[in-house]
Every structure is written in structure tokens, then in C-alpha cells.
Amino acid sequence: MLSHSFFDRKTLTVARELPGKYLVRKINGKIWRGKITETEAYVGPHDLACHSSRGKTPRNTPMFAEAGTIYVYFTYGMHWMLNIVTEGKDFPAAVLIRGTENITGPARLTKFFKIDKSLNGKKLGKKTGLWIESDSKIENSKLKILRMPRVGVAYAGKIWANKPYRFIQS
């Protein structure tokens, strides 16, 4: 299981190193596991695509917690999005988990893993039933990772929408 220190680093580093790791969900003794293949970084209040760019709100409060906190939000009136808080407490940054092997898209991912608001603000770990593991046989530095612009953030303006903050294992 990845430790708190893995997430307590620069957001772009965490987002780049999560592909190849495993998202794990345990409910009622049943375990689902999927290799993360796509992430997006949201690097704090100066990032106009980041929810924290307009300050602290009831919705984004978990982003201000310590690294390794789960930030789940509802979008388009029908989809949950899973983010993991990064960096230090009170620096609101996070990584969106966009996909795993065989599951493309963050809404499909949360639906498959049964992730919803009940996890919002909790810490990753076995106690919450959601955590991320490393596969000791796979060295992340040897994976081919593409950097692309983020998806669906045109509202942030050209500069922030076009930042290569999306990481895809190819």
C-alpha cells in the first residue's frame, strides 16, 4: 500500500508516478483492483482549472486536508470524480484518477469501484476500503507515460487548459 509520503510530494510528480499503480476497493469482503492508466494533476490555487482557484468552499474543503485524503465530487448532476489530495496540508492540490486498465473515463471508474460521496474527506487506507498499491515487479520509471493537456477544462483559459498535466500509460 502506498504511504502518506508518496502523496506528500509535488502534484505533478504524484500524477506522473500513479500510472502503473493499483487502485484497490474493498466492500463487504470483496476486493476490486485495477491498474491506473490515466491521471490529471491540479496543482493548487494558482491553477485556474483547479477547484481551489476560487478559494475554500464546502465542495472543495477536502483539498485543504493532508496528502492522501480522498476528494470525491459530483459533476454534471450524475457523475462522481475521484481525486487524491497531494502536497502539504492547506495547499489545495490533487490528482484526478481518470482511468484504469479496461475502464476509461473517471465516471465509469467511480461507478465500477462504487466510489461516491461517502468516501469524501477520508484517508486512503484499508479502514476506508479504498487504497492504492504498488506492484513491486513494475518499475514506474520504465513505463512509457505520455503527457497531454487535461480534459474538459476550457473554462480555465488557454494557458491552463493546455498545460500537459494529464499522464497516460501507453
The 10s digit of each residue's pLDDT in 116-168 is 999 999 999 999 999 999 986 665 667 899 999 999 999 999 999 999 999 99
Which secondary-structure segment (H or E) carries 130? strand 130-133
The 10s digit of each residue's pLDDT in 79-129 is 999 999 999 999 999 999 999 999 999 999 999 999 999 999 999 999 999
Question: Which amino acid, residue 9?
Answer: R
- Residue 142 makes CB contacts below 8 A (sequence gap 6+) with none
Domains of the chain, residue spans: 4-169
What is the average per-residue pLDDT within 37-56?
96
Q: In 5-129, which ranges are E strands?
A: 22-27, 30-42, 70-75, 79-85, 94-100, 103-104
CATH of domain 4-169: 3.10.300.10
Distance of CA 50 to the CA centre of its chain: 12
> How high is the pLDDT of residue 137?
64
Cell 502523496: give the residue: 7
The 10s digit of each residue's pLDDT in 62-71 is 999 999 999 9
